[in-house]
């Protein structure tokens, strides 16, 4: 009966790609007992259920990704779990044993755990502007080797900008949308130029900076030849120019091939477009070299 239960849970909750990633994170022994396998898979099923039932912006901790992770928002962790670990949407290949990965908008570090599951010896540079979230990012990555954490946002100059922190994964530069609510607090954060980190080869550049992506990539367009793969979450704010042509031209001029996936596509876009966090369009953009 235990074996049947284990097979059912594995089939429903652990797709093959996630199982491989989780094995790397946990360093599990191939000769593990059947009882320990049932225990770990049962925990996974229960933990997915628990996290899915938590309200947004409620601090918690979880071992869903193979080690304890502190977070301010369970929904954000579940999104990373599904997109990165389950679907493997940002898996990439390289001949380098120690590839350089730059994570712009690292939040609490769940994506860093993913990069380390792919390439344990990788060199990672990660940026996170929200000071409260950066504290958790630091705690979650304290024992990871070759990880540099930088408590800043990214923009076209070194300095400071007003920032709307929303206590989850949607904080953005204030000028993009002055939508101050009980869930959003305006603060001042330091910002740096991404171009200063692109003078050497980079195997993966992840850019999830809530609307600043076009300006930041334009500022370092002449250095993108050093990047092999780019994943960008592109955001369009409802009261701002979309700059889609500018954004894609940057990637095309840098020699990338592009694949696009839409997040939450509208069923009737001419009539109604869902708006979340003052944005009416979110695109997952994968840019790579042939």
**Where is average pLDDT lowest: 1-10, 37-46, 94-103, 243-252?**
1-10
Q: Is the pLDDT of residue 24 over 60?
A: no
Which has more confidence, 167 or 4?
Answer: 167
| Predicted local confidence at residue 124, as pLDDT | 98
φ/ψ of residue 258, rounded to 5 = -125, 140
Q: Which residues contact 185 (CB under 8 A, 6 or more apart)?
A: 164, 165, 166, 167
Domains and CATH numbers, the chain: 90-288 (3.40.50.150)
The answer to whether residue 33 scores a pLDDT higher than 80 is no
* Closest to 264 in 3D by CA, of 275, 256, 255: 275
Q: Span 81-87, mean pLDDT?
A: 95
Supply the pLDDT for residue 154.
96
Residues 6+ apart with CB under 8 A from 249: none
The pTM score is 0.84
Per-residue pLDDT at 74: 93
User: Does the pLDDT at position 286 exceed 50?
Assistant: yes
Which pLDDT tens digit goes with each residue over 133-187?
999 999 999 999 999 999 999 999 999 998 888 766 666 776 776 665 556 788 8
pLDDT score at 195: 98
Place 34 in a pLDDT band, splitting at 50, 70 and 90: very low
Picking from 60, 167, 52, 162, the residue whose alpha carbon sits closest to that of residue 107 is: 167
Q: What is the pLDDT of residue 278?
A: 81
Mean pLDDT over 59-84 rounds to 94
What single string gives the DSSP state of each residue in 214-260? Answer: HHHHHHTGGGGGGEEEEEEEEEEETTS---HHHHHHHHHHTT-EEEE
Q: How far apart are CA 285 and CA 256, in angstroms?
A: 11
Q: For residue 109, is pLDDT > 50? A: yes
163 close to 133: Cβ distance less than 8 angstroms: no
Is residue 12's pLDDT more than 50? no
Mean pLDDT of the chain: 85
Q: Helix or strand or coil: residue 93?
A: coil
Could you give the CA distance from residue 205 to residue 196 in angstroms, rounded to a whole number? 14
pLDDT, position 173:
72
CA distances from 133 to 15, 89, 115, 140, 177 (A): 30, 24, 19, 11, 21
Lowest mean pLDDT: which of 22-26, 219-223, 235-239?
22-26
Residue 11 has pLDDT above 90, yes or no: no
How buried is residue 253: exposed, middle or buried, by Cβ count under 10 Å (0-12/13-18/19+)? exposed
| Closest to 234 measured CA to CA, from 270, 269, 258 | 258
DSSP secondary structure string, 129-166? --HHHHHHHHHHTTT-TTEEEE--EEESSSEEEEEEE-
């Amino acid at each position: 009966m235990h074996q049947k239960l284990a097979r059912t849970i594995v089939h429903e909750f652990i797709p093959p790609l996630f199982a491989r990633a989780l094995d790397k994170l946990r360093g599990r022994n191939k000769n593990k007992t059947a009882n320990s396998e049932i225990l770990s898979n049962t925990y996974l099923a229960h933990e997915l259920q628990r996290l899915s039932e938590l309200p947004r912006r409620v601090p918690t901790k979880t071992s869903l990704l193979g080690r304890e992770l502190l977070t301010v928002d369970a929904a954000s962790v579940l999104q990373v779990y599904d997109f990165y670990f389950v679907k493997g949407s940002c898996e990439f290949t390289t001949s380098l044993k120690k590839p350089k990965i730059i994570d712009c908008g690292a939040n609490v570090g769940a994506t860093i755990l993913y990069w380390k599951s792919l390439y344990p010896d990788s060199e990672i540079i990660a940026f996170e502007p929200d000071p409260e979230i950066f504290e958790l990012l630091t705690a979650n990555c304290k024992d990871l080797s070759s990880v540099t954490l930088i408590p800043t946002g990214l923009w076209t100059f070194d300095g400071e900008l007003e920032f709307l922190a929303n206590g989850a994964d949607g904080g953005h530069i204030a000028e993009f949308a002055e939508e101050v609510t009980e869930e959003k607090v305006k603060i001042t954060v330091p910002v740096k130029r991404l171009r200063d980190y692109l003078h050497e080869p980079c195997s993966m550049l992840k850019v999830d900076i809530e609307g600043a992506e076009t300006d930041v990539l334009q500022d370092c367009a002449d250095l993108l030849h050093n990047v092999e793969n780019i994943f960008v979450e592109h955001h369009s704010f409802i009261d701002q120019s979309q700059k889609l042509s500018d954004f894609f031209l940057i990637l095309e001029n840098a020699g990338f091939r592009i694949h696009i996936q839409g997040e939450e596509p509208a069923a009737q876009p001419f009539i109604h477009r869902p708006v979340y966090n003052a944005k009416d369009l979110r695109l997952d953009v994968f840019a790579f070299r042939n």
